[in-house]
């Protein structure tokens, strides 16, 4: 499903972040990525989502190189297939929670009846008409997660989705994520610093300067 | 369907959250459009009304014959009537007569009186026929009858049957209001009399102002006009109705262009306000737009979203502007008249006419300008890589792309170039463009200026212990200069406009004051209640004034209107005693002059205003011809003087030369210098008992 081939990325001033990174994730796999702060985890997710471009190397999704897509095709791919959760959970401040969560459905032109249920699932039942400014950091993070999952994406990219949650809530939300990914037959990547969180994934990868390596053998399911 | 509701959510969300900013933007657009639209409405209303009014006076004639001076001998009339090709000739005597009761109003105390031959006017200008009391049709020919338009009746507060006093030269005559002119235009102030009666009562025996001609069918108007002009020679002008309109248009052109420029300035300031509000609002939402891109908004969708927003603002703002502009125009015309108090179109009361096409034009201008303000930042927002745009602090990177340094440099250099270019059709078009470009360039330079100043300030001040807040503020301004620059730019734009206006107004006023001192050095001026160019103080009145007690010196002069070019408004001719040893003692001459000592003996010198140099190409040393005595006389241009009063040109000549050429010894203005210790009021009071009564009830300035 997801292939990384010799991906290189450096920022301005020659700051090398990812060097010759290669890895292949099969469809239906749910991987956790851990690694030191600043090693390039968020950068890697941005590259996979097509929000930024690698300096060299290729990223293929279902065999199609993202770089070969024009902007509209890449946008369409993101809209239909991707669920993205940012480290700095971005939401639109002037839309209600219901509206924020319904965004991917609206963009895809699909019915929005799932919004209420999703909101309830992340523990925000009856708050659909509130605005983001009325919510706590952890609640906002849950809104971002609900939005990323609402349209049943085929690829879920989650960047530290539970950083602001207490362990119990975090666990519930991570279980929800896992269940969604598995029922939809989707592929998932979970970036986290928490071993407990990483444990909800199928397996854990470690991102270092040298590359992406499995930490332990695949979890038996 | 869904994307429509999404777009609506985004719009309403934004507007709810930033209501004040949106209102400011709306008001900016509305004001810009309103100013431009109202000024345009006022201009056209005044102009249309004025030309319609002058058309109704000249009726359905094909050609009109005028003298070079205001009046000419009526012997021309039978000549014209018998010319081959003429179907009908209609003699007209037109006078502006002073109304005694209205003298306190310096610019508006005259009534236009038209003397017509009723039997001919029936066929050529039926609008001018008076409506008499029943059974008294012969009143139209009565020797004391005058017919007034409704506006004139209202102005004079008289009705049918009342008597009306008017000034003629230095006497007062009384006429009877015999009826109305029902077909006069609304607001048009005119009076009609029988031409013979008018000649007699207003002491213009044997004189006409114009003869209107109706040509026989099949006569080629243009050819006939040329031939007739040739036949009549230099002393007469043959004019078509169209020429007349052109002249009126030219007369008020500079004034109208300036008003239109003002409208453009308003629109420009409005544009800038709209532009900066839009730019700021788009840049502020860069993260949100990036998020939308991540979630699946295509570039086109995002662009459409931002532009739709600008369009809605533009539509509402422009519509508000049209309404506001219309209201302003109606109010301004009610309060000030069609020329906003400039008195180009006296005695005309125009109505504002709402023209759909014009309204649509101004609406589109407002809309397009607003949309431009959103398109530029929208394009940038759409091109940004979402990953970058999502990071906070990326706004400044965005703005830097907007105003690259070369843009400012180009603006300023082109502006400097434009200041050197000559006017187009007598209008400083490039001058106006240069001002706009300088402003834009200055605004574009603001970010760099802000960054440089603030970082200099920061390094300079680092040696001192600055408070945390001050350091923070300076650091922010130095590193994120673009947002500061937009605000600074707004201030710069409005401030420089204000300064420019203030400088213009004060410098103009200072020069006018200085000029008035030179041109009007006397303490008191007495002007004769003139009828056109004729009349004034005859020699006995002059002797009486010269003998008045309380004055050191008394000068007499003669002013008169001359037409040099059919397509231009009249110039003013001053005949006055000019100091023969040095003309500079009398006139505010520029350095461009021939010293009085070196003037040849046998020529008549004239001194021309700067407008004459620009409009007619007169140069010092030129020999020129002016139709002062009806025929053409040769003069030597001896100097150029500064004149802020008469934009269509003015010429000064020796009074002695004038009197020798025309044989007309009367004058129409007297300048009086008070003896030391004498006040103007006391002098006037003295005169009042002595000779003033002989001189008549004259306006004293
Ligand atoms: N726009 C940028 N310009 C320059 N350097 C950048 C930029 N974005 C990220 N970096 C650098 O690239 C490196 C990788 O950043 P990234 O955000 O991918 O780290 P991360 O692994 O997600 O860290 P964390 O665990 O703290 O979130 C960091 O050292 C960061 O400073
Ligand atoms: Mg990160």
| Contact assignment for A109 to B3 by CB distance below 8 Å | yes
What pLDDT is recorded for position B530? 47
CA A1 to CA A186: how far, in whole Å? 10
Secondary structure letter of residue B165 according to DSSP: E
CA B42 to CA B255: how far, in whole Å? 12
Tens digits of residue pLDDT in A97-110: 999 999 999 888 88
From chain A residues 115-154, the ones with a CB under 8 A of any chain B CB are 147
Chain B CB contacts of A46 below 8 Å? 387
| Contact assignment for A90 to B14 by CB distance below 8 Å | no
Which residues 6+ apart lie within 8 Å of B9 measured at CB? A95, A99
| Contact assignment for B386 to A51 by CB distance below 8 Å | yes
Tens digits of residue pLDDT in B376-422: 778 877 887 777 777 766 666 655 665 667 888 888 889 888 888 87
What is the predicted ipTM? 0.89
Which residues 6+ apart lie within 8 Å of B24 measured at CB? B273, B277
Q: Whose CA is nearest to atom 2 of ligand 1?
A: A11
pLDDT of B694 over the 50 cut = no
More confident of the two residues B554 and B304: B304
What pLDDT is recorded for position A94? 87
Q: Whose CA is nearest to atom 5 of ligand 1?
A: A11
Mean per-residue pLDDT for A125-137? Answer: 90
Mean per-residue pLDDT for B73-78? Answer: 89
Q: Whose CA is nearest to atom 4 of ligand 1?
A: A11
Q: What is the largest CA-CA distance in chain A?
A: 49
**How many domains, in total, are found in chain B?**
2
Domain ends where: B210, B239, B268? B239
Q: Evaluate: CB of A184 within 6 angstroms of ligand 1.
A: no
CA B579 to CA B392: how far, in whole Å? 79
Tens digits of residue pLDDT in B511-546: 545 545 555 555 666 665 544 445 567 777 777 777
**Closest residue, chain A, to B291 (C-alpha):** A90
Q: Whose CA is nearest to atom 31 of ligand 1?
A: A38
- Nearest Cβ partner for B13 among A95, A105, A108: A95
CA A47 to ligand 2 centroid distance, Å:
13
Domain ends where: B204, B239, B274? B239
| Contact assignment for A51 to B13 by CB distance below 8 Å | no
Mean per-residue pLDDT for B16-21? Answer: 80
pLDDT of B187 over the 60 cut = yes
**Closest residue, chain B, to A45 (C-alpha):** B387
What pLDDT is recorded for position B590? 78
| Contact assignment for B296 to A75 by CB distance below 8 Å | yes
Tens digits of residue pLDDT in B191-218: 888 888 888 888 888 888 888 888 887 7
Whether residue B96 lies inside any domain: the answer is: yes
Q: Evaluate: CB of A39 within 6 angstroms of ligand 1.
A: yes
What pLDDT is recorded for position B250? 58
Provide the pLDDT confidence category of residue B698 given band limits of 50, 70 and 90: very low
Residue contacts between A and B (CB atoms, under 8 Å): 78
- Angle subtended by helix axes B395-402 and B253-284, to nearest 10: 150
Provide the pLDDT confidence category of residue B49 given band limits of 50, 70 and 90: low
Mean per-residue pLDDT for B18-40? Answer: 79
What pLDDT is recorded for position B558? 82
Whether residue B571 lies inside any domain: the answer is: yes
> Ligand 1: which of B290, B391, B394 to mutate, most ligand atoms within 8 Å of CB?
B391
> Is any Cβ of chain A less than 8 angstroms from the Cβ of B379?
no
Q: Evaluate: CB of A41 within 6 angstroms of ligand 1.
A: yes
Percent of residues, chain A, with pLDDT higher than 90: 42
Q: Evaluate: CB of A37 within 6 angstroms of ligand 1.
A: yes
Least trusted range by pLDDT, from A112-121, A201-210, B127-136:
B127-136
Q: Evaluate: CB of A13 within 6 angstroms of ligand 1.
A: no
Provide the pLDDT confidence category of residue B12 given band limits of 50, 70 and 90: confident
Chain B CB contacts of A107 below 8 Å? 2-3, 6, 295-297
Q: Evaluate: CB of A17 within 6 angstroms of ligand 1.
A: yes
CA A165 to ligand 1 centroid distance, Å:
23
Tens digits of residue pLDDT in B587-641: 778 777 888 778 888 888 999 988 788 788 888 888 888 888 777 788 999 988 8
Whether residue A120 lies inside any domain: the answer is: yes
Provide the pLDDT confidence category of residue A129 given band limits of 50, 70 and 90: very high
Whether residue A133 lies inside any domain: the answer is: yes
Whether residue A99 lies inside any domain: the answer is: yes
Chain B CB contacts of A94 below 8 Å? 10, 13-14, 16-17
| Contact assignment for B13 to A107 by CB distance below 8 Å | no
Whether residue B407 lies inside any domain: the answer is: no
> Ligand 1: which of A17, A86, A159 to mutate, most ligand atoms within 8 Å of CB?
A17
Ligand in closest contact with the CA of A209: 1
Q: Evaluate: CB of A15 within 6 angstroms of ligand 1.
A: yes
From chain A residues 99-118, the ones with a CB under 8 A of any chain B CB are 99, 103-109, 112
Chain B CB contacts of A104 below 8 Å? 295-296
Nearest to B78 by CA among B167, B165, B206: B206
> Is any Cβ of chain A less than 8 angstroms from the Cβ of B383?
no
What pLDDT is recorded for position B700? 40
| Contact assignment for A107 to B6 by CB distance below 8 Å | yes
Tens digits of residue pLDDT in B224-233: 888 888 888 8
Ligand in closest contact with the CA of A85: 2
What pLDDT is recorded for position A97? 92
Percent of residues, chain B, with pLDDT higher than 70: 70
Provide φ and ψ at B207, rounded to 5°.
-115, 150
Mean per-residue pLDDT for A201-209? Answer: 91
| Contact assignment for A75 to B299 by CB distance below 8 Å | yes
Domain ends where: B185, B217, B239? B239
**How many domains, in total, are found in chain A?**
1
> Ligand 1: which of A9, A11, A44, A85 to mutate, most ligand atoms within 8 Å of CB?
A11
Structural domain for B591, as ranges: 520-694
CA B289 to ligand 1 centroid distance, Å:
22
Whether residue A11 lies inside any domain: the answer is: no
Task: Tell me how long chain A is.
Answer: 221
Ligand in closest contact with the CA of A35: 1
Whether residue A97 lies inside any domain: the answer is: yes
What pLDDT is recorded for position A106? 87
CATH number of the domain to which A85 belongs: 3.40.50.300
Whether residue A23 lies inside any domain: the answer is: no
CA A72 to ligand 2 centroid distance, Å:
27
Ligand in closest contact with the CA of A39: 1
Percent of residues, chain B, with pLDDT higher than 90: 2
Provide φ and ψ at B240, rounded to 5°.
-95, 160
Question: Do B191 and B139 meet the contact criterion of CB atoms below 8 Å apart?
Answer: no
Chain B CB contacts of A86 below 8 Å? 390
Mean per-residue pLDDT for B29-37? Answer: 79
pLDDT of B236 over the 90 cut = no
What pLDDT is recorded for position B535? 56
Tens digits of residue pLDDT in A61-113: 988 898 888 888 988 999 999 999 887 778 888 889 999 999 999 888 888 88
> Is any Cβ of chain B less than 8 angstroms from the Cβ of A81?
no
pLDDT of B680 over the 90 cut = no
Ligand in closest contact with the CA of B387: 1
> Is any Cβ of chain B less than 8 angstroms from the Cβ of A71?
yes
Tens digits of residue pLDDT in B430-439: 877 887 788 7
How far is CA B392 from its chain centroid? Answer: 54
Tens digits of residue pLDDT in B147-181: 888 888 888 888 888 888 887 776 788 888 888 88
Whether residue B580 lies inside any domain: the answer is: yes
Structural domain for A80, as ranges: 30-39+76-215
From chain A residues 7-46, the ones with a CB under 8 A of any chain B CB are 46
What pLDDT is recorded for position B406? 80
What pLDDT is recorded for position A218? 47
- Chain A nearest-CA distance from B18, in A, is 10
DSSP string, B51-93: HHHHHHHHTT-SEEEEESSS-EETTHHHHHHTSTTEEEEEEEE
Secondary structure letter of residue B522 according to DSSP: S
What pLDDT is recorded for position B341? 45
| Contact assignment for A104 to B295 by CB distance below 8 Å | yes
- Angle subtended by helix axes B299-336 and B253-284, to nearest 10: 150
pLDDT of B692 over the 50 cut = no
What pLDDT is recorded for position A192? 92
Tens digits of residue pLDDT in A145-175: 999 999 999 999 999 888 888 989 899 889 9
What pLDDT is recorded for position A119? 92
Closest ligand 1 atom, residue A193 Cα: 25
**Secondary structure of chain A in HEC code, one letter for each residue:** CEEEEEEEEEECCCEEEEEEEEEEECCCCEEEEECCCCCCHHHHHHHHHCCCCCCEEEEEECCEEHHHCCHHHHHHHHHHHEEEECCCCCCCCCCCHHHHHHHHHHHHCCCCCHHHHHHHHCCCCCCCCCCHHHCCHHHHHHHHHHHHHCCCCCEEEEECCCCCCCHHHHHHHHHHHHHHHHHCCCEEEEECCCHHHHCCCCEEEEEECCEEEECCCCCCC
Strand B63-67 and strand B210-215: the pairing is antiparallel
Q: Whose CA is nearest to atom 3 of ligand 1?
A: A11
């Amino acid at each position: 499903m997801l292939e990384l081939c010799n991906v290189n990325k450096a920022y301005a001033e020659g700051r090398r972040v990812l060097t010759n990174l290669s890895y292949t994730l099969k469809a239906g796999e749910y991987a956790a990525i851990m690694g030191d702060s600043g090693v390039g985890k968020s950068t890697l997710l941005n590259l996979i989502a097509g929000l930024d471009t690698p300096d060299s190397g290729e990223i293929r999704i279902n065999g199609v190189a993202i770089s070969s897509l024009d902007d509209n095709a890449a946008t369409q791919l993101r809209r239909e297939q991707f669920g993205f959760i940012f480290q700095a959970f971005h939401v639109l401040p002037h839309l209600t929670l219901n509206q924020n969560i319904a965004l991917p459905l609206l963009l895809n032109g699909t019915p929005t009846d799932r919004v209420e249920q999703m909101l309830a699932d992340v523990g925000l039942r009856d708050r659909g008409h509130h605005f983001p400014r009325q919510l706590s950091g952890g609640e906002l993070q849950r809104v971002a997660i609900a939005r990323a999952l609402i349209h049943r994406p085929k690829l879920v990219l989650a960047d530290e989705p539970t950083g602001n949650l207490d362990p119990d809530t975090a666990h519930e939300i991570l279980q929800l994520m896992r269940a969604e990914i598995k029922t939809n037959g989707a592929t998932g990547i979970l970036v986290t610093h928490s071993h407990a969180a990483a444990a909800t994934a199928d397996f854990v990868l470690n991102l270092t300067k040298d590359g992406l390596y499995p930490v332990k053998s695949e979890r038996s399911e | 369907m869904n994307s429509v509701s999404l777009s609506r959510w985004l719009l309403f969300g934004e507007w709810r959250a930033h209501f004040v900013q949106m209102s400011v933007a709306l008001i900016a657009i509305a004001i810009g459009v309103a100013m431009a639209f109202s000024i345009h409405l006022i201009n056209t209303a005044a102009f249309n009304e004025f030309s319609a009014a002058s058309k109704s006076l000249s009726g359905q004639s094909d050609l009109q014959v005028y003298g070079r001076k205001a009046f000419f001998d009526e012997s021309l009339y039978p000549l014209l009537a018998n010319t081959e090709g003429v179907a009908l000739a209609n003699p007209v005597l037109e006078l502006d007569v002073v109304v005694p009761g209205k003298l306190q109003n310096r610019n508006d105390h005259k009534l236009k009186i038209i003397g017509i031959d009723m039997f001919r006017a029936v066929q050529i200008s039926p609008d001018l026929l008076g409506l008499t009391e029943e059974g008294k049709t012969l009143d139209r020919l009565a020797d004391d009858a005058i017919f007034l338009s409704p506006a004139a009746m209202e102005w004079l507060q008289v009705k049918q049957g009342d008597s009306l006093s008017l000034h003629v030269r230095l006497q007062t005559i009384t006429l009877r209001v015999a009826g109305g002119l029902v077909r006069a235009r609304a607001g048009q102030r005119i009076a009609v009399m029988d031409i013979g009666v008018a000649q007699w009562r207003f002491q213009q025996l044997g004189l006409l102002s114009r003869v209107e001609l109706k040509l026989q069918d099949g006569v080629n108007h243009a050819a006939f006009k040329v031939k007739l002009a040739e036949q009549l020679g230099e002393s007469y002008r043959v004019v078509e109705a169209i020429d007349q309109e052109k002249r009126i248009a030219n007369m008020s052109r500079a004034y109208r262009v300036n008003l239109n420029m003002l409208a453009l300035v308003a629109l420009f300031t409005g544009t800038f306000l709209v532009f900066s509000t839009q730019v700021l609002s788009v840049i502020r939402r860069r993260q949100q737009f990036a998020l939308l891109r991540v979630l699946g908004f295509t570039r086109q969708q995002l662009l459409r979203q931002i532009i739709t927003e600008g369009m809605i603002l533009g539509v509402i703002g422009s519509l508000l502007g049209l309404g506001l502009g219309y209201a302003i125009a109606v109010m301004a015309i009610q309060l000030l008249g069609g020329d906003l108090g400039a008195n180009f179109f006296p005695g005309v009361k125009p109505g504002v006419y709402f023209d759909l096409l014009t309204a649509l034009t101004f609406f589109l201008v407002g809309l397009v300008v607003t949309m431009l303000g959103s398109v530029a930042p929208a394009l940038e927002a759409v091109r940004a890589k979402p990953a970058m745009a999502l990071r906070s602090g990326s706004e400044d990177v965005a703005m830097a792309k907007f105003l690259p340094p070369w843009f400012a440099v180009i603006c300023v250099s082109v502006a400097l170039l434009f200041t050197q270019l000559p006017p187009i059709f007598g209008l400083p078009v490039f001058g106006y463009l240069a001002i706009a470009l300088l402003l834009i360039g200055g605004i574009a330079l603001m970010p760099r200026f802000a960054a440089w100043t603030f970082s200099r300030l920061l390094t300079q001040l680092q040696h001192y212990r600055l408070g945390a807040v001050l350091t923070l503020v300076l650091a922010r301004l130095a590193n994120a200069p673009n947002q500061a620059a937009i605000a600074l730019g707004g201030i710069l734009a409005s401030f420089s406009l204000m300064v420019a206006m203030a400088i213009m107004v004060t410098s103009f006023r200072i020069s006018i004051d200085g000029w008035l001192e030179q041109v009007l050095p006397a303490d008191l001026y007495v002007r004769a209640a003139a009828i056109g160019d004729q009349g004034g103080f005859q020699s006995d009145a002059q002797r009486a004034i010269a003998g008045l007690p309380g004055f050191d010196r008394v000068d007499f002069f003669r002013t008169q209107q001359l037409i040099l070019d059919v397509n231009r408004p009249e110039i003013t001719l001053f005949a006055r005693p000019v100091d023969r040893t040095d003309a500079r003692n009398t006139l505010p001459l520029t350095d461009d002059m021939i010293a009085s000592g070196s003037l040849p003996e046998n020529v008549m010198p004239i001194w021309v205003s700067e407008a004459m140099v620009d409009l007619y190409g007169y140069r010092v040393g030129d020999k020129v011809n002016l139709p002062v005595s009806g025929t053409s006389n040769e003069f030597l241009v001896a100097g150029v003087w500064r004149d802020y009063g008469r934009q269509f040109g003015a010429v000064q000549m020796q009074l002695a030369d004038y009197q020798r050429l025309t044989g007309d010894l009367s004058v129409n203005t007297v300048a009086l210098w008070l003896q030391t210790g004498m006040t103007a009021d006391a002098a006037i009071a003295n005169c009042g008992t002595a000779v003033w009564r002989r001189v008549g009830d004259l306006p004293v300035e």
